[in-house]
Structure 1
């Protein structure tokens, strides 16, 4: 099995940066399993566009990818998607 998701995502981000170098707003979104990728790739995108704050827009399957996220989710007793800004 050959997986090419990293290369595909990186190619899209490189293209977007070249074609939209100075956007007013930047949204990284993902659906289902792609929502996990959106969380991870939002870090790279924030660095590429030099933005300080990021909040990925995820639809379904929002994972808990850090201990900090887990603690906040447990304390707040709310839907995980509302905690994505904690990264």
Structure 2
């Protein structure tokens, strides 16, 4: 699964994307974020306030309880502002 990072997440992690292979028990976006935080200290620090993190699965905005079934690409980004 490909994970893309945008805005200050990309800057804090010093990477724009990565490939991950989460275990079978990782079934939702929240599970994925938690699993990645457990396995990557930089990621854990970057997503410390998880409620601020927005997600998209295959280019569709989703909530953290969205299923990862059929997910090929997950995008993680902070809230957007207009202007």
Q: Same fold (TM over 0.5)?
A: no
The TM-score with structure 1 as length reference comes to 0.27
Structure having the larger proportion of residues in helix: 1
Q: Which has the larger radius of gyration?
A: 1
By relative contact order (CA 8 Å, sep 6+), the higher-ranking structure is 2
Structure having the larger proportion of residues in strand: 2
